[in-house]
Amino acid sequence: MRTLRVVGLHEDGKSIVCEDPERRERFLLPADERLRAAARGDVARLGQLEIEQESTMRPREIQARIRAGGSVAEVAEAAGMSVARVERFAYPVLAERARTAELAQRAHPAREDGPDVRTLGEIVAHSFALRGQDYTQATWDAWRSDEGKWIVGLAWTAGRSDNRARWAFSPGAHGGTVTALDELAETLLDPDAYRVPRAVGQTAEPRLTDVATRDGARVIEAPIPTPAERDTDEPSPARQAAGDSLVPEQSANAVRGKKNHPTVPAWEDVLLGVRSQRG
């Protein structure tokens, strides 16, 4: 290896003139950033400059792609670089995305009458609970759109389907606001949509209680309906059949027996919650 000495600055002002003392040969050395980094002994900067020269993609472009939602593996493949080299430039941007996703969960969904008092994270967690899904397995992320706005996304798996929901995040006072960008995002913001509504006019089924008496017999207890409910009750087929089979004399005896003694309700009357009329 020959030793050169510096003669001076070339007339173009961009190169250093060096000379071989023995052979009197002169050389031009570009006075670029690599030369300045070498003169300072900045090894780290020299390594970074070497990476930049080997790649067709500049560090600023790498970071722009990562900020737009690209992964390290995707950018490394596009740039023709190793994943380890891309990570050096992607790390600060990935940290920015993670921080933005965290802030977006504290934002308030925009409603027609103003921002919701609850946060995005609280509402989504409630929706997952109503579905019976594990909210801890969902993954939040954030990236910048082509318009420069932050988009926050949620990805999760339900059964064999991979789901994604997206909201537009506008940082601001009290956590900022978020606006749904797709149908899944809108559905997650409406937890009550998962509740099964009861049909209009539908009432709870009569509650029957099976009670054992002291002598071993079993009695079915049922609530007694109100007079209005009794008036609207249709006679059961068993009661109709029983009434049709009574002859006039038997009917009269039944009426006299009703005046003297309380009538024991039929089995189907108890089951339907109907109380016999007293005389």
Residue type, 73: A
Residue showing tokens 């087929």? 237
- 77 to 50, 57, 84, 268: CA distances (angstroms): 18, 11, 12, 77
Element (H, E) at 150: strand 150-158
pLDDT digits (tens, 9 = 90+) for 43-83: 777 777 666 665 568 889 999 999 999 999 999 888 888 89
pLDDT digits (tens, 9 = 90+) for 10-36: 878 788 888 888 888 888 888 777 777
**What integer pLDDT is reported at residue 247 of this predicted model?**
46
Taking alpha carbons only, the member of 97, 73, 69 closest to residue 87 is 73
- Whole-angstrom Cα distance, residue 56 to residue 65? 14
Per cent of the chain over pLDDT 70 is 66
Please compute the mean of the pLDDT values over residues 183-208 and round it to a whole number. Answer: 63
- Whole-angstrom Cα distance, residue 23 to residue 36? 27
pLDDT digits (tens, 9 = 90+) for 117-176: 999 999 999 999 998 889 999 999 999 999 999 999 999 998 888 999 999 999 988 899
- Whole-angstrom Cα distance, residue 168 to residue 180? 7
For the chain, what is the mean pLDDT?
A: 76
pLDDT > 90? residue 216: no
Contact in structure between 127 and 147 (CB atoms under 8 Å): no
Parse the chain into domains and list their residue ranges. 32-101, 105-194, 209-272
- Whole-angstrom Cα distance, residue 258 to residue 29? 125
Contact in structure between 68 and 143 (CB atoms under 8 Å): yes
- Whole-angstrom Cα distance, residue 114 to residue 97? 27
Confidence of residue 264 (pLDDT cuts 50, 70, 90): low
pLDDT > 70? residue 273: no
Residue 128 phi/psi, 5-degree rounding, is -65, -40
**What integer pLDDT is reported at residue 191 of this predicted model?**
75
- Whole-angstrom Cα distance, residue 138 to residue 122? 14
**What integer pLDDT is reported at residue 257 of this predicted model?**
46
